Amino acid sequence: MAGGLASCTLSDEAKLRAANRASTNAWRKAGAILRNTEAPRLADQIFSVLDFGAKSDGVFDNTHVFARAIATCYEAGGGRVLVPAGNFFTGPIHLLSNVNLHLEEGAQLLFSTKPADYLPPVFTRWEGMELMGYSPLVYAYKQQNVALTGKGILNGQANEMTWWPWKGGDKWAKPGFATQAKARAQLEADVEKNRPVSERIYAENSQLRPAFVQFYKCKNILIENITITNAPFWLLHPVMSENVIIRGVTCASLGPNSDGCDPESCKNVVIENCYFDTGDDCIAIKSGRNADGRRIATPSKNIVIRGCKMRSGHGGVVIGSEISGGARNIFAENCEMSSPDLERGLRIKTNSVRGGLIENIYFRNIHIGDVQTAVVIDFNYEEGDSGINTPHVRNVEVRNLHCKNAKQVFNVRGYERSPISNLHLLGATFEKAEDIGVIEHVDDFIAKEVLVQGKPFSI
d(CA 252, CA 228): 6
Note whether residue 304 is domain-resident.
yes
Distance between CA atoms of 341 and 282, rounded to whole angstroms?
12
Q: The whole model's pTM is what?
A: 0.97
386-399, pLDDT tens digit by residue?
Answer: 999 999 999 999 99
Per-residue pLDDT band at 417 (split at 50, 70, 90): very high
pLDDT attached to residue 9 = 53
Mean pLDDT computed over every residue of the chain: 97
pLDDT at 66 > cutoff 90: yes
> Are 112 and 17 in a shared domain?
no
Asked if residue 42 and residue 25 are part of one domain, the reply reads: no
In a domain, 293, yes or no: no
Judge whether residue 328 has pLDDT over 60: yes
Looking up residue 223, the CATH number of its domain turns out to be 2.160.20.10
Q: Say yes or no: 170 and 307 in one domain.
A: no
Helices then strands, counting H and E runs in the chain, come out as 5, 31
Same domain, 231 and 306: no
pLDDT tens for 344-376 read 999 999 999 999 999 999 999 999 999 999 999
Q: How many domains does the chain have?
A: 2
pLDDT value, residue 420: 99
> CB within 8 A of 22, min separation 6: which ones?
395, 397
Residue 171 within any structural domain of the chain? yes
Does 146 map to a domain? yes
pLDDT at 3 over 50: no
- Of residues 11 and 60, more confidence is placed in 60
Q: Are residues 160 and 195 in the same domain?
A: yes
Please tell me whether residues 199 and 325 are part of one structural domain. Answer: no
Peptide linkage before 120 cis (omega within 30 of 0): yes
Q: Are residues 142 and 202 in the same domain?
A: yes
In this prediction, residues 433-450 reach a mean pLDDT of 97
User: Would you please indicate which residues are annotated as catalytic (active-site) residues?
Assistant: 280, 314
Q: Model confidence over 195-235: pLDDT tens digits?
A: 999 999 999 999 999 999 999 999 999 999 999 999 999 99
Same domain, 26 and 42: no
Question: Is the pLDDT reported for residue 285 higher than 50?
Answer: yes
Residues 54 and 24 in one domain: no
C-alpha to C-alpha distance for 330 and 363, rounded to whole angstroms: 8
* Cβ contact 350:393 at 8 Å: yes
Q: Range of 106's domain?
A: 37-259+267-275
The pLDDT-based confidence of 11 (bands split at 50, 70, 90) is: low
Q: Is 414 within the bounds of a domain?
A: yes
Question: 412 and 351, same structural domain?
Answer: yes
Least confident segment among 7-11, 32-36, 298-302, 349-353: 7-11
Mean pLDDT of 278-283: 98
Question: What is the C-alpha separation between 140 and 92, in angstroms, rounded?
Answer: 11
For residue 103, the tally of other CB atoms under 10 A from its CB is: 24
Q: Look at residue 370 and tell me if it is in a domain.
A: yes
In a domain, 406, yes or no: yes
Strand 153-155 to 122-126 pairing: unpaired
Angle at 10 between CA 9 and CA 13, to 5 degrees: 95
pLDDT of 6 strictly over 60: no
CB 142 within 8 A of CB 337: no
Q: In b/e form, how buried is each residue of 354-392, taking b as 16+ CB within 10 angstroms?
A: bbbbbbbbbbbbbbbbbbbbbbbbbbbbeeeeeeebebb
Same domain for 28 and 57?
no
Which sign does the torsion angle of CA 146, 32, 334, 259 carry?
positive
The CA-to-CA distance between both ends of the chain, in Å, stands at: 7
Mean of pLDDT values over 406-423 = 98
Q: Are residues 127 and 141 in the same domain?
A: yes
Write the pLDDT tens digit of every residue in 150-180: 999 999 999 999 999 999 999 999 999 999 9
3-state secondary structure of 321: coil
**394 vs 443: CA distance, rounded Å:** 9
Q: Is the pLDDT of residue 4 over 50?
A: no
Within a domain: residue 98?
yes
Helix (H) or strand (E) holding 421: strand 420-440
Cβ proximity of 131 and 124 under 8 Å: yes
Give me the phi and psi of 159, to 5 degrees please: -160, -165
Percentage of the chain modeled with pLDDT above 70:
98
